[in-house]
């Protein structure tokens, strides 16, 4: 297999433009402390939004992750609990806990079924009960499993780093998540990098980052955001 092209590599950040199923086997085994990612799961109707081969993904993550590591993945209930969880458990990962992110979106299109106002974020671990690397109270004075986040339309109105990616994640949620589940100086992998929010969070919190994105347009957006974050480690207005 040909070695993939690394579009950006400055020691702490490595970005690849390509298919993660082809790139993951080329990464160093046992080099990743946490996977933080939002894989497409075939619900939005975009060309890139296809259901994943979770058995293959989980097996590849099992190789690149350290013996003690954590997996964080977004998904709807069907994807996370019927597909991802069995595959991850078969690969040696154990379900740890979940967040439910609540999205304050409109209700005008609920003709045939309720509009889903939430998304699941599942946390899995391998090895001993991994410690939390920063105080979970970053998520609130008394952290709860239900977290209110900004859907993209609201994010776009409020934050200057909105990109146009339809599923861009709220940095105010991703940043403390990365701090809590990956040690400082550790390495986070996002094999479905999208607009690069996980990478920005890693730059701002002193984590190394490996990002993979198959879509060249979104890759360029992510690369630009991460480079800008490296020049200015903190972004204003994200609380």
pLDDT at residue 6, as a whole number: 62
Q: ∠ CA 72-163-104 to the nearest 5 degrees?
A: 65
pLDDT, the chain, mean: 79
Mean pLDDT of 88-116: 72
- Note whether 101 and 173 are within 8 A (CB): yes
Distant-in-sequence, close-in-space partners of 138: CB < 8 Å, separation ≥ 6: 176, 179, 180
144 vs 230 pLDDT, higher one? 230
Q: Tokens at residue 29, please?
A: 């085994």
Closest C-alpha among 65, 62, 79 to residue 188: 65
Q: In angstroms, what CA-CA distances link 63 with 27, 80, 138?
A: 9, 21, 31
Q: What is the pLDDT of residues 40-82, one digit of tens each?
A: 875 555 555 567 789 999 999 999 999 999 999 988 888 888 8
> Would the pLDDT of 239 be above 70?
no
Q: What kind of fold does domain 6-106+115-231 have according to CATH? A: Rossmann fold (3.40.50)
pLDDT at residue 151, as a whole number: 55
Q: What is the pLDDT of residues 143-193, one digit of tens each?
A: 666 666 555 445 445 555 555 555 667 788 899 889 988 999 999 999 999
> Predicted confidence band at 13 (pLDDT cuts at 50, 70, 90)?
very high
pLDDT at residue 236, as a whole number: 41
Alpha carbons 54 and 41: distance in angstroms, whole number = 10
The residue extents of the domains of the chain are 6-106+115-231
Closest C-alpha among 163, 155, 172 to residue 193: 163
pLDDT at residue 196, as a whole number: 92
pLDDT at residue 147, as a whole number: 65
| 3-class DSSP state of 72 | strand
pLDDT at residue 98, as a whole number: 85
| 3-class DSSP state of 26 | helix
pTM score, whole prediction: 0.82
Quote the percentage of the chain above a pLDDT of 70: 68
């Amino acid at each position: 297999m040909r070695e993939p092209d690394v579009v950006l590599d400055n020691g702490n950040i490595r970005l690849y433009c390509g298919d993660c199923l082809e790139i993951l086997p080329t990464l160093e085994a046992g080099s990743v402390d946490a996977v933080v990612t939002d894989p497409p799961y075939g619900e939005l109707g975009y060309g890139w939004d296809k259901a994943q081969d979770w058995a293959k993904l989980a097996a590849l993550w099992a190789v690149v992750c350290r013996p003690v590591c954590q997996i964080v993945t977004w998904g709807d209930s069907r994807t996370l609990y019927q597909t991802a969880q069995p595959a991850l458990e078969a690969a040696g990962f154990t379900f740890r806990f979940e967040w439910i992110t609540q999205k304050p979106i409109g209700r005008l299109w609920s003709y045939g079924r309720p509009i889903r106002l939430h998304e699941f974020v599942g946390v899995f671990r391998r090895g001993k009960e991994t410690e939390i690397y920063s105080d979970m109270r970053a998520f609130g004075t008394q952290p709860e499993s239900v977290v209110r986040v900004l859907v993209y339309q609201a994010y776009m109105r409020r934050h200057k780093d909105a990109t146009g990616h339809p599923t861009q994640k709220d940095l105010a949620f991703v940043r403390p998540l990365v701090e809590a589940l990956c040690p400082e100086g550790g390495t986070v992998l996002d094999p479905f990098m999208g607009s690069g929010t996980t990478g920005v969070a890693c730059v701002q919190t002193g984590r190394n980052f490996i990002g993979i994105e198959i879509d060249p347009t979104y890759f360029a957006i992510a690369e630009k955001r991460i480079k800008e974050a490296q020049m200015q480690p903190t972004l204003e207005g994200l609380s």
